[in-house]
Amino acid sequence: MLPTRLLATRTYSTASNRFRVVEVGARDGLQAEKKFVPTEVKVELIDRLSACGFSTVETTSFVSPKWVPQMADHNEIVKKHKRFNGVSYPVLVPNAAGLKNALATGVVDEIAVFGAASDAFSLKNVNSNVEDSLKKLLEVTKIALDNKIRVRGYVSVVVGCPYSGDVKPEVVARVAETLLEAGCYEVSLGDTIGVGTVKSVGKMLDTVLKSVPANKLAVHFHDTYGQALANVLVSIEKGIRAADSSIAGLGGCPYAKGATGNLATEDLLYFLKGNGFETGVDLEKVVETAKWFNSAAGYDKWSRVGRAISNKMEAAQKC
Ligand code: HMG
Ligand code: MG
């Protein structure tokens, strides 16, 4: 039987008004940032996010520091952040070397593996084409499961690739199926460069949903062209009840030319609440966390909703 902590992540059924928001700011949000964010700031960010009520907070990547220098402090991050009851803390792992390092910390209990739906992107991102990278991911997934580590899967560039253009939905479906068959508890479909629209995302989902049930899928939108919330809506209409987002809309992928920030968590939470979904996440606390992060890291990054709520909170304090 799986240890209790490994059961923390819920998946919600198609008709549910419960929705799981996976906070990826500390990993996807920061990985492409040139200026190194101090480790203690990242650790406090993760702790503050945990206190907001998320059930999944992605924390870092066990990738090569030569490839992604911002994630070089992964060992310290996973050892120093607090672990709240009922919260999963996946770390991104690209290969067996990354998994070995993650296991050696003795504290990692969930990993995320990432495949792609285009050879050109896969080669830039992990130096292997889709097939070879899947072989490595399956090996990593098996070792992780043997070690009682939960595995979440990602498929990147699900509608458009920055190097080869439109992506075939059938390839997305095949990669998602392969990851689920290997034992991932969920697969997150990533529009890595944020080019998707209701039409292209809807078409991709229709194909994937022929072979993968909606409660095994999450969506992961970058907001390059401002389409992310519309794409969440079409995903909800098709029965999906989980989405990744990043505080203050931080983010980008170092190997996806033109990829801007992730869908902002604040915008997603406002949208979900306004449309009758329960997430268990405290939006005002997320906005306070964004404000704290801006001052701690020397940033001035706000989502539209984050800025509006912060202004309202400041105005209320002055009254
Ligand atoms: P490679 O060059 O093929 O690997 O890179 P290698 O096996 O030849 O190793 C090269 C060097 O890296 C060696 O060191 C290895 O030891 C070391 P050297 O001998 O030169 O001193 N190495 C490692 N060090 C630490 N941790 C490791 C590791 N592996 C090898 N895990 C590799 C292959 C996958 C490592 C490389 O391509 C890599 O790290 N890529 C990073 C990819 C990445 O982080 N991309 C961003 C995340 S994906 C994403 O953002 C999309 C997502 O958000 C969803 C979406 O938006 O769609 C998930
Ligand atoms: Mg991403």
**Stretch 167-185: mean pLDDT, rounded?**
97
Closest ligand 1 atom to 188 CA: 54
Q: How far is the CA of 59 from the centre of ligand 2 (A)?
A: 13
Higher pLDDT, 140 or 10: 140
Of 132, 133, 124, residue with least CA distance to 153: 133
- Is the pTM for the entire model greater than 0.85? yes
Residue ranges of domains in the chain? 4-318
Phi-psi region of 248 (alpha: psi -120 to 50; beta: other; left: phi over 0): left
Q: Which atom of ligand 1 is nearest to the CA of 128?
A: 3
Q: What residues does the ion ligand 2 have nearby, CB within 5 Å?
A: 28
Residue 243 clears pLDDT 70, i.e. is over it? yes
The band of 2, judged by pLDDT with boundaries at 50, 70 and 90, is very low
| 166/138 Cα distance (integer angstroms) | 26
pLDDT of residue 4: 36
* pLDDT at position 253 over 80: no
Q: What is the pLDDT of residue 9?
A: 61
Dist. CA 224 → ligand 1 center (Å): 25
| Ligand of minimum distance to the alpha carbon of 245 | 2
Tell me the average pLDDT of the chain. 94
Instruction: Give the CATH fold of the 4-318 domain.
Output: TIM Barrel (3.20.20)
pLDDT, tens digit, 9 for 90 and up, residues 286-308: 999 999 999 999 999 999 999 99
Judge if the beta carbon of residue 54 lies within 6 A of ligand 1: no
Residue 6 has pLDDT above 50, yes or no: no
Task: State the pLDDT at residue 5.
Answer: 38
- Rg, C-alpha atoms of the chain: 18
The reply to whether ligand 1 has any atom less than 6 angstroms from the CB of 283 is no
Mean pLDDT of 115-134: 96
pLDDT beyond 80 at 54 = yes
